[in-house]
């Protein structure tokens, strides 16, 4: 579908400012012209993108989905302009990143690989720790940004959260627990079996503590380990059951080293997210990496939309 670029430009500013007058001012245009362009874009796409009210403009579900892609595209264009004006890209410098293990395995390593291939002279300073300690480093100005998994809890006003990629955990056991895979279990039934978890100072422990509390139960694992790399071997060797990210466990499942155990309760979706300090400033190299992470988010949204369409 060949939609005029100016239509998307207009939509970008309308969605960004949630106000037609401010969007018109940013484009050095008029409000009637902005309104006309928005009508044309909605007609071209065959759906409603915005809702006007006395309080301004709000986005429909389709509008929110489109804005994520348009915003990422405009960010790339702006970055491209800056790269050209500065000679093509960040040739030197360092980027300081804090990352939890699940975020590294689930998204960040692939983005870092591509970034390093494009800008080999930029030094990547990576701090791998629990999400809580990584956030402490961000607050202390020791890193440029954090890529972690966090429960949907409030952050300080100056910290900005952007969800990059959704993922789910599965409950797994070693082959000796194969009989438990024959039927879905209630969460309270797990108390009869040993449970393995990441340590108490991890975001994963906090997540499952909340999950258990919502169902009137206490999360009290028998074994606590420091990393997911240690969690999976303990499960494989029959020392207990554990919650593991699906992507991380896929190989062990296919090889028959672990079995999936179904729960009657639905494990909530988790997210790998980007946390930034809006009071700080980023180098060109750090901003370039941030844009690549945001582009990975758009790719994740597209893949999820395609999967859902296929199921329909």
Per-residue model confidence as pLDDT tens for the chain (312 residues): 566 888 888 999 999 888 898 888 888 888 899 999 999 999 988 999 999 888 889 999 999 989 888 887 877 776 666 655 555 556 678 899 999 988 998 899 999 999 999 899 899 999 998 888 899 999 888 999 999 998 767 788 889 999 999 999 999 999 999 999 999 999 999 989 999 999 998 889 999 999 999 999 999 999 999 888 889 999 999 999 999 999 889 999 999 999 999 999 999 999 999 999 887 778 888 988 998 998 887 665 544 433 443 444
CB 285 within 8 A of CB 93: yes
Number of residues that this document lists for the chain: 312
Rounded CA gap, 291 and 297, in Å?
A: 10
Rounded CA gap, 242 and 231, in Å?
A: 7
The burial class, CB within 10 Å (0-12 / 13-18 / 19+), for 120 is exposed
pTM here? 0.65
The burial class, CB within 10 Å (0-12 / 13-18 / 19+), for 164 is buried
Rounded CA gap, 162 and 159, in Å?
A: 10
pLDDT at 306: 38
pLDDT at 302: 44
- SS3 helix, strand, coil % of the chain, rounded to 5? 50, 20, 30
């Amino acid at each position: 579908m060949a939609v005029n670029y100016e239509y998307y430009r207009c939509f970008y500013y309308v969605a960004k400012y949630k106000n037609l007058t401010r969007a018109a001012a940013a484009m050095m245009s008029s409000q009637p012209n902005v309104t006309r362009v928005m009508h044309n874009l909605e007609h071209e796409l065959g759906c409603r993108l915005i809702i006007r009210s006395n309080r301004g403009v709000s986005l429909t579900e389709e509008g929110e989905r489109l804005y994520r892609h348009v915003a990422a595209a405009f960010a790339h264009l702006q970055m491209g302009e800056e790269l050209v004006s500065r000679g093509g890209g960040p040739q030197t410098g360092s980027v300081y990143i804090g990352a939890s293990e699940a975020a590294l395995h689930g998204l960040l390593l692939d983005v870092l690989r591509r970034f390093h291939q494009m800008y080999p002279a930029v030094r990547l300073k990576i701090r791998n720790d629990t999400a809580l300690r990584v956030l402490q480093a961000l607050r202390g100005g020791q890193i440029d940004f954090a890529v972690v998994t966090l429960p949907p809890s409030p952050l300080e006003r100056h910290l900005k959260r952007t969800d990059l990629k959704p993922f789910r955990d599965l409950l797994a056991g070693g082959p000796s627990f194969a009989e438990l895979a024959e039927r879905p279990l209630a969460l309270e039934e797990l108390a009869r079996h040993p449970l393995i978890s990441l340590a108490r100072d991890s975001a994963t422990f906090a997540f499952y503590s909340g999950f258990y509390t919502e169902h009137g139960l206490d999360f009290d694992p028998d074994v606590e380990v420091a990393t997911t790399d240690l969690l999976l071997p303990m499960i494989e060797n029959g020392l207990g059951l554990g919650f593991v990210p699906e992507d991380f466990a896929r190989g062990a499942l296919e090889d028959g080293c672990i079995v999936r155990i179904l729960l009657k309760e639905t494990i909530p979706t988790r997210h790998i997210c980007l946390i930034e300090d809006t009071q700080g400033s980023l180098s060109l190299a750090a901003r370039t990496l941030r844009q690549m992470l945001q582009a990975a988010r758009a790719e994740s949204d597209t893949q999820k939309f395609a999967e859902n369409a296929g199921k329909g």
